[in-house]
Amino acid sequence: MSERVVLSFHEKFRQYDLGEGHPFRGDRFVDAMKFFRERGLLNLPNLMVIEPRPASKIDLLRVHDEDYVDLIFRLASENRSYDIETPVSNQILEAVLLIIGGVLECGRAVYSGEAGRGISLGGGFHHAGRNYGGGFCLFNDVAILIECLRVNGAKKFLVLDYDVHAGNGTSDIYYCDPSVLFISIHQDPRTIYPGTGFTWQIGEGEGKGYNVNIPLPPGTGDESYLYAVKEIFIPLAEEFKPEIIIANGGSDAHFADKLGDLSLTARGFFKLSSLIRETADKVCAGKLVMLIGSGYNPEVLPICWHALVAGAIGLQSFDLKEPYTPPIEPPFIRRKVQGVVEELRSLLKENWRCFK
């Protein structure tokens, strides 16, 4: 297994800036890189920063309908919005294509064995489906990566979507497809966008059992969150045996995030990322691509992203201080999370030996 880590970043990622007053600002990428640099993370001898080339229209068309792709390109040239919270411009489009290009470059390096892990800053546009966008997302880079790897011979993929919002777009695209085990751990959809991602949504037809939602109550902290990951993600990964794990998210499950109500700490993100890496080591020779893009509190975003990168690389400890004190998780939360885990085991026991 290669110990090499590639991290994709381009100054132009900054153009993925959805405007003043919008929670998604483009300075996040530059701020995170500055934070990493100041703390020596980029000096690690096995870490290489790569500057991606833009993804092509052919790459987009592996997943998206041509009419939809043409619509987004037209909206970009006319400087219009796709919906109330998803503006489009030529600058935004240029940045999106570079971010997706970075995701593809990381995936190619990891799948070919050139690198052990790929970390794409930006990416994880999981609300985009084949013919729709929304939720700040235009094109689904997770699916585009999967389809590009498929062209190169890959056959089994595991996606762990740990963003605070359910990955409805990725779920829709692979709802009937047993070659992609999609696991989304997120805040209870009755309390947050996009309003889907319930336990009973387990896939259809041949894909039944391959779409797994872990909805958590608002206020879920590190220990209960990691308990759910250990009880569901790890046994499924061990039984499914993917060729590669793709993890997407960012810092919006943090307790101080402005859009979500889960209560992870930066240390929790480090433990999560470490668990994902250890699982990849166990089940798919360490092949792991992390897409890190979300987070809506600029004060905690760089620390959490640092934690995610540190865990993915395999650093043994994480001791950066947070600017706020985390809340204490009320005892009823753990009981609710245990209930979700029990329900999932029961719903999925027909499909998975580990839950029988």
Residues designated as active site: 127
314 contacts 277 by C-beta, under 8 angstroms: yes
How near is the Cβ of 307 to Zn ion at its closest, in Å?
Answer: 17
Give the 3-state DSSP-derived string for 199-227, with helices as H, strands as E and coil as C.
CCCCCCHHHCCCEEEEEECCCCEHHHHHH
d(CA 290, CA 159): 10
Q: φ and ψ at 148, to 5 degrees?
A: -70, -40
Q: Which stretch binds Zn ion (CB under 5 A): 8-16, 222-230, 290-298, 317-325?
A: 290-298
How near is the Cβ of 212 to Zn ion at its closest, in Å?
Answer: 18
Cβ-based nearer residue to Zn ion, 147 or 163: 163
Cβ-based nearer residue to Zn ion, 207 or 302: 302
Report if residue 172 touches Zn ion, rule: CB under 5 A.
no
Cβ-based nearer residue to Zn ion, 171 or 294: 294
How near is the Cβ of 207 to Zn ion at its closest, in Å?
Answer: 24
Contacts of 31 (CB under 8 A, 6+ apart): 298, 301, 302
Residue of minimal CB distance from Zn ion?
165
Report if residue 163 touches Zn ion, rule: CB under 5 A.
yes
d(CA 185, CA 163): 7
With CB under 5 A, what is the number of residues at the site for Zn ion? Answer: 4
Residues 234-263 that bind Zn ion (CB under 5 A): 252
d(CA 332, CA 350): 29
d(CA 272, CA 252): 14
275 contacts 229 by C-beta, under 8 angstroms: yes
Among 64, 127, 165, 254, the residue binding Zn ion under the rule CB under 5 A is 165
Cβ-based nearer residue to Zn ion, 221 or 260: 260
Report if residue 294 touches Zn ion, rule: CB under 5 A.
yes
How near is the Cβ of 214 to Zn ion at its closest, in Å?
Answer: 15
Binding residues for Zn ion, rule: CB under 5 A, are 163, 165, 252, 294
